[in-house]
Amino acid sequence: MTASSGRPRLLLLDGHSLAYRAFYALPVENFSTTTGQATNAVYGFTSMLINALRDEQPTHLAVAFDVSRQTFRSVEYPEYKATRSASPDEFKGQVPLIREVLTALNVPYVEVEGFEADDLIATLTTQAEAAGFDVLIITGDRDAYQLVDEHVTVLYPKKGVSDLARMTPEAVQDKYGLSPAQYPDYAALRGDPSDNLPSIPGVGEKTAAKWVREFGSLAELVERVDEVKGKAGDSLRAGLSDVVRNRRLTELVRDVPLPLAPADLERRSFDRDTVHEVFDALQFRVLRERLFALHGDDAAPAGAAEDVEVAAPAAGGLGTWLAEHAAAGVRVGLVLDGTWGRGTGDVESFAIASPDGAVAWWPVSGLLPDDESALSAWLADPARPKAMHDAKGPVLALRARGLPLSGLTCDTALAAYLVLPGQRSFDLSDLVPRFLKRDLAGAAAAGSDQLSFDTDPDEARAASMGMQAKAVLDLAGALEDELEVRGGTALMTDVELPLLSVLADLEQAGIAVDLDHLHGLEDEFAESMRGAEASAHELAGRPFNLGSPKQLQEILFGERGLPTTKKIKTGYTTDADALQSLFAQTGDPLLEQLLRWRDVSKLRQTVTGLLSSVSDDTRIHTTFNQIVAATGRLSSQDPNLQNIPIRTDEGRRIRSGFVVGPGYECLLTADYSQIEMRLMAHLSEDAGLIEAFNSGEDLHNYVASRVFGVAPSEVDASQRSKIKAMSYGLAYGLSPFGLSQQLGITPGEASGLMDEYFERFGGVRDYLREVVDRARGTGYTETMLGRRRYLPDLTSDVRQRREMAERMALNAPIQGSAADIVKVAMLRVDSAIRARGLASRMLLQVHDELVLEVAPGELDAVREVVTEGMGGAVPLTVPLDVSVGVGRTWEDAGH
């Protein structure tokens, strides 16, 4: 369909149909929030909507939803859609989220009890066409083909959520040999398994289409049914009542009473702040960028980009400019352009914005010796305050040029992370319109080569970086105001900002590896994979691809007849958890080899990734992420050294590949013992738990003895294991069902175990209730150091989302406090090492563990520094117990 000149264009979307399409097109395991809310259906639907707005440019817009399965069709024919299975748990709750997205985007949606979305779409289409509209319908229901004509086109998803077939009258004719008006006659004859509409035995799609073409319509076919010969004719006559009923049910209603008319559906602007709020909760960073890039004019304006004049002072003038515009006590915005990572980097140019309005840009290659000297002194001066955005990488790049940085008073990425801890990205181009209500023009990041051909590259880069520097300066003040309101100022200035420099030290130092050991492991794991593969082929009786889910389904559930696992779109799942459960159930030796192959494959992949990350100094320099986890925990990447397996002998052998480097005596590791449970005791003030820690007895043994009413010496391994799982589970918001899954007991038994636990440790029960109640009232949880996590879903009307938020409210204070304590410990250890002039250094932080490289003769001093620094990080009512180990390798230093 091509819109006629001057005709408005109405876009209608079938909400439930497209949500289901998206749910099955996008893997649910790849789309969920940090709170555990599945978002694949919401993401796919929203992506499809944005694409449609981009490609079709509608003037009017609406989404139609089903209300329930109870419609006039199910009243007439109770079997209608009766065979459809219940919605998957991961899908439930996503349709309300789609409605939230639509509300944020100011897109109207309509639903009417007793009718399906198709009927609402048919009604709006009929009204719109009569009013001179062109209509586009996006739906996965082919019944909508009956609406197609010269002014109505159906966009039907062929695959996934992006490949749409344009079903015009010509396209319907080409596909079925029928006109759109004839399509419902054909559908009635064909039947529809998805709607549980019966087909005619022995009559397929070709025959059904042929009959409609031959007789012109179903009504004519019914009138002349005796003319149809053979067995097909007999079947038709026997099932004629079903066909006629199918036709009634297939016909879309075009006169549903609606609260809206096409004229009411004109596209409206939306409020950016509302979109931010909803997309933050869903963690849709990329979709938000696509939306704002495409529909900036549709959004309530954030404000025009500020006009910034960027100077490029003459060579030799840097010192003078800094003296005039960046004197002591005057904070400026600093932006660097260059490359960084793996503990090093390089600077190509930099821009500085002063609060007096002066903005300047310099290429490093053009600096004279006097400029370099002035820059070095200014960067190193703590009295010259600077604001930067995501400063750790630039800090490494400056260090690589021998330029240490001091005086960093605000990192706007860190500040935004503390203000918006649930967000997944903190791009400057997103934060500026949100907090400063203006656009960041020249939004191409520093270093972008997307410049117009008639613009001097240096001028374009200077303009872009100067605008970013001005934005960073202004943003720093706005975010600091937000932090003050949210109680995060001390956390920023006393913990996160100082830690940035410590993490840069860790990344710069890296950790040494034994290349021969890692290469040997890689070869050994590869050989083990080949052995497991050969055994699997022998057991299956033929070769097959162990990594192919389709082939695994054929062999396991077809040829070997094993019990089927969870049903998925492509058959039955063959993921690791399902196969592990199936092996426990059946003991099938093929499953044993498959699981072995997968385990060793992951180990080999880990080793291969490590080897590819080794720098020229034979050390691995990971990158620590300070602004990722909403709980405050650090993570690492490129490579992820927090993910080195330690639960198996083979996994621990990988840790043996990390060794003490030349010039150092040994590695020392130190970690907290049971920090979550110690925090539970402190926060809950439960006398029993506090006594358990202060008594010096084994915690889980002590608690088990109280819960089961036996002497500590009589607690068996099973009882201790159950109590350990439950104790940690409570600290992470584990439900009775989750505990039952973990322990392999019934939910009733798990609930009873929890009741017995709370009977003995009532302070824990009271604390957990209080945490959720307080968070529901304030909208957030808080750690001991004031780190907040906002949980708006605590008051959601959707049970699944509310319960998910409650679990987050339970674990965030404990997990977040543990993360904060480790950070404080790192700062204390680093400060003590410097104060005592030690040559030893920290190398890694892995959850609750620190890894240090000890210089010759400093072992006792380092042990003392670490024990005191970690043990005294925060005052608790129970001791913070620190375990220390020493050895040549990371594994040897374990304890």
How many whole angstroms separate alpha carbon 91 and alpha carbon 85?
12
Residue that has been written with the tokens 């002072």 in this structure:
313
9-176+253-265 CATH: 3.40.50.1010
Q: Sheet with 9-14: list strands edge to edge.
A: 109-110, 60-64, 9-14, 134-138, 152-159, 163-167
How does DSSP classify residue 192? Answer: B
Cα(72)–Cα(249) distance, rounded to whole angstroms?
9
- Collapse the DSSP code of 150 into the 3-class scheme (helix H, G, I; strand E, B; otherwise coil) and give the result: coil
Measure the CA–CA gap between 619 and 513, rounded to whole angstroms: 6
Spatial neighbors of 553 by CB under 8 A, at least 6 apart, are 570, 571, 572, 574
| Helix, strand, coil abundance in the chain, percent, nearest 5 | 55, 15, 35
Which single residue is written with the structure tokens 């997307």?
450
Distances (CA, A) of 376 to 367, 372, 373, 380, 437: 12, 6, 5, 6, 35
Q: Tell me which residues of the chain have a pLDDT lower than 70.
A: 1-5, 69, 77, 81-85, 160-161, 196, 239, 295-306, 441-455
CA distance 580 to 283: 32
Tell me, rounded to whole angstroms, the distance of Cα 215 from its chain centroid. 55
Nearest to 655 by CA among 512, 840, 806, 471: 512
- Position 620 scores a pLDDT of 98
CATH number of 310-510: 3.30.420.10
- For residue 677, which of 715, 724, 713 has the smallest C-alpha distance? 724
Please give the torsion angle defined by the CA atoms of residues 273, 274, 278 and 281, in that order, rounded to the nearest 10 degrees.
40
Question: What distance in Å separates the CA atoms of residue 352 and residue 372, rounded to the nearest whole number?
Answer: 15
Q: What is the pTM of this model?
A: 0.82
Domain boundaries, the chain: 9-176+253-265, 310-510, 512-620, 676-812
Nearest-angstrom CA–CA distance, 573 and 327 = 64
Judge whether 857 and 838 are in contact, CB under 8 Å: no
- The CATH H-level (homologous superfamily) assignment of domain 512-620 is Taq DNA Polymerase; Chain T, domain 4 (1.20.1060.10)
DSSP letters of 543-612? ---TT-HHHHHIIIIIIS-PPP--EETTEE---HHHHHHHHHHH--HHHHHHHHHHHHHHHHHHHHHHHH
CA-CA-CA-CA torsion sign (764, 769, 773, 778): positive
**Sign of the Cα pseudo-torsion (213, 215, 218, 219, in order):** positive
Query: How far, CA to CA in Å, does 115 sit from each of 183, 339, 834?
Result: 21, 58, 73
Type of residue found at 395: V
**What pLDDT score does 220 carry?**
79
Note whether 404 and 379 are within 8 A (CB). yes
Contact 673, 882 (CB under 8 A): yes
Distance CA 786, CA 411 (A): 18
| Residue 690 structure tokens | 């506090």
Which residue(s) pair with 625 in the sheet? 635
Burial string for 651-682 (b: 16+ CB within 10 Å, else e) reads: bbbbbbbbbbbeebbbbbbbbbebbbbbbbbb
CATH 1.10.150.20 is right for the domain spanning 676-812: yes
Record the tokens describing residue 818, joined without a space.
């543990």
Rounded-to-integer distance, Cα 717 and Cα 749, Å? 18
**What pLDDT, on the 0 to 100 scale, is given for residue 461?**
92
Cα dist from 402 to 258, 379, 380, 509, whole Å: 70, 11, 10, 15
Q: What is the pLDDT at residue 338?
A: 96
- What is the rounded CA–CA span in Å between residue 192 and residue 653? 57
Q: What local confidence, expressed as pLDDT, does residue 449 receive?
A: 38
Beta carbons of 322 and 372 less than 8 angstroms apart: no
Spell out the alpha helix ranges (H) of 168-204.
169-176, 183-190
- Output the 3-class SS for 486-555: HCCHHHHHHHHHHHHHHHHHHHHHCEEECHHHHHHHHHHHHHHHHHHHHHHHHHHCCCCCCCCHHHHHHH
CA–CA–CA angle 837, 843, 848 (5° rounding): 110
Whether the ω angle into residue 639 lies within 30 degrees of 0, i.e. cis, is yes
What is the Rg, in whole angstroms, of the alpha carbon atoms belonging to the chain?
Answer: 33
DSSP letters for 634-657: -EEESS-GGG---SSHHHHHHHTT
Strands (E), 242-327: 310-311
The pLDDT tens digits for 758-776 are 888 899 999 999 999 999 9
